[in-house]
Structure 1
């Protein structure tokens, strides 16, 4: 398959059949990954649970509330949200109404924390033939597509409102798919949604869910404004006088910067890494890489986590080869095959611990990375 797919590649899709070097699915506890001051001991036992009671399919994303509880979203039909303590104790589990729970944000609004949960629209097929997993147009594939949505919830899972297909407000035509992948919340409460498995726009809404504008998609006069499999998004507040968005164009192996009104301002090349949206921690941000390119091919089980500094330069690849710049250009990045399959979502706590969820990782639970 080409480096940049001709259409968005959902997180439930594998981009190729190329096999990586042999790799055990039993992660070695105590393995140290990363470089420089970003080195971590891998704790693969942190999130493990009884898979009969609390099964997971893909661990899509994580977020932390003000009490230090870690919320994991998973697309298993038996439970969509698992809530952990920082030590890995399971505190609660709820939700069956989000069949492809894909992204989660927890924000404080007027003194009360709320959840924004993004469902990307892929569902388990009750007519699955038991074999097909990558036959996306087949009626007997393991998963099939429907429209996605965004839900605003209380911390205990009570629904406040939803945002559905933009055709209902005349923004999309009925034939345009809507399968959102992520959401960012600006300081004023405005919402920014990436339609990364649908039509590849960023959709801007007010805090009440009222549509304001859209941008991105394909075939823009300025190709840098195009978005391909726009998987993640966050507001960069490192300079409080210059808030702006960083948006992943995962199919292009790039992060793109936009002002809050959608005007383009720059591109960060990620050199062959199919990268998700940023998670900020101080002056740095972490970004999950689901696949990396090797010899021009997108390879399965080649994920890692890139760490960027305040100048948006990669300083560490956790689970990947050390970054290298030549003449100011980032050289191709790839997995070191130490620990990860496909890094999909993460959160970082105040003590620097990193909690990582993976897609297509044999139904394994989140991993905790403990600073060395």
Structure 2
């Protein structure tokens, strides 16, 4: 059943006292409500000088089986330990501008799948070494004639099939087998029920059996929404609407985190009802803005929320689309 999101959920969110960001002076801010209450960790992931190490961010977040956090920035991929120290980097043209990531364990090794909008490809690389083992360029076998190919989201089916969304161009969603062979595509650009107006984010929704695709239709009019499709590209339902500009989705158990580019993160339960809203930005001048430098960050207030991921303890890591490069850790408050 389709659930319509309600902005009144903000009324149940802790409102942090506004404090300009300083790694040395900022205090933790509590946000959310009920079982989805979190504390921020001021200064997490910053360098020894208190400055961001990332450079501009317009990407995603994933976590490996050891709890290490991977985030993609314009210049490449940075890997942090849970306490916020950089333990390795994959920098340069091959790993730059990864807009979305998924991580999968295959045998004894973990691999990251990335959608690179600027480079016009999907990639698969080792989470340990960064070695690229597969590239997914535009599939000429599809017979389509596109002026542009700009993938924004990627996910992997249980059988290894790879699903890649051309969210910044045609809004077709392409399906490949595990070796990169083109299989099919579905979806078109538009504002009808079964069309996409920026199929921006996507993941495998494991809250259901069998799993299905959960897709962010970010610019759908009149309001952004989430959709369910099966793994063969068949429409199932409109999941929820009124989410502003949903950019990505991350699932843990019965819960899904949905960053909204308008400067907040929404958490839904299995019935797709809002449980909590985190980091809501009430300022129209900075909400949805890339150009909020580090010295203008406000602890507990997001600006252009773009990527998120859960760790095994239910903590959240959230990336802003941000000129200085912002990645935040939110620690789940135990009941």
Instruction: Please classify the TM superposition score into its range, dividing by the shorter chain length.
Output: 0.7 to 0.9
Q: In the alignment, which of 313, 324, 342 is matched to residue 273 of structure 2? A: 313
Match for residue 279 of structure 1?
A: 250
Question: Does the CA-based 8 Å contact 2:243-2:260 persist in structure 1?
Answer: no
Q: 1:170 to 1:282 in 2, by over 3 A?
A: closer
Secondary structure at the residue paired with 1:366?
strand
Secondary structure at the residue paired with 1:152?
strand
Superposed, 1:131-146 pairs within 5 Å as: none
In structure 2, list runs of 5 or more residues that go unmatched. Answer: 1-17, 282-286, 289-297
Match for residue 81 of structure 1?
A: 77
Match for residue 6 of structure 2?
A: none
The CA distance in 2 between the partners of 1:243 and 1:353, in whole Å, is 23
* 1:244 aligned onto 2:212: yes
Displacement after TM superposition at 1:338 (Å) = 4.9
Displacement after TM superposition at 1:100 (Å) = 1.6
Question: Does the CA-based 8 Å contact 2:30-2:300 persist in structure 1?
Answer: no
The CA distance in 2 between the partners of 1:53 and 1:255, in whole Å, is 32
Displacement after TM superposition at 1:159 (Å) = 1.4
Question: Does the CA-based 8 Å contact 1:181-1:196 persist in structure 2?
Answer: yes
The CA distance in 1 between the partners of 2:115 and 2:321, in whole Å, is 16
The CA distance in 2 between the partners of 1:214 and 1:50, in whole Å, is 47
Which 10-residue stretch deviates more, 270-279 or 53-62? Answer: 53-62
Match for residue 113 of structure 2?
A: 116
In structure 1, list runs of 5 or more residues that go unmatched. Answer: 1-22, 122-146, 292-302, 322-333
Question: Does the CA-based 8 Å contact 2:41-2:331 persist in structure 1?
Answer: yes
Root mean square deviation of aligned Cα: 2.4
Q: What TM-score do the two structures reach when normalised by structure 2?
A: 0.81
Question: Does the CA-based 8 Å contact 2:215-2:227 persist in structure 1?
Answer: yes
Match for residue 21 of structure 2?
A: 26
Superposed, 1:263-274 pairs within 5 Å as: 263-274=234-245
Match for residue 326 of structure 2?
A: 365
Q: 1:337 to 1:216 in 2, by over 3 A?
A: farther
Q: 1:272 to 1:61 in 2, by over 3 A?
A: closer
How many residue pairs get aligned? The number is 293
Displacement after TM superposition at 1:95 (Å) = 2.1
Displacement after TM superposition at 1:189 (Å) = 0.5
Match for residue 63 of structure 2?
A: 64
Question: Does the CA-based 8 Å contact 2:205-2:214 persist in structure 1?
Answer: yes
Q: Deviations over 1:233-287 (max 9, x none)?
A: 11112233x2211101000200011111111111123315111232111111111
Q: In the alignment, which of 31, 40, 43 is matched to residue 42 of structure 1? A: 40
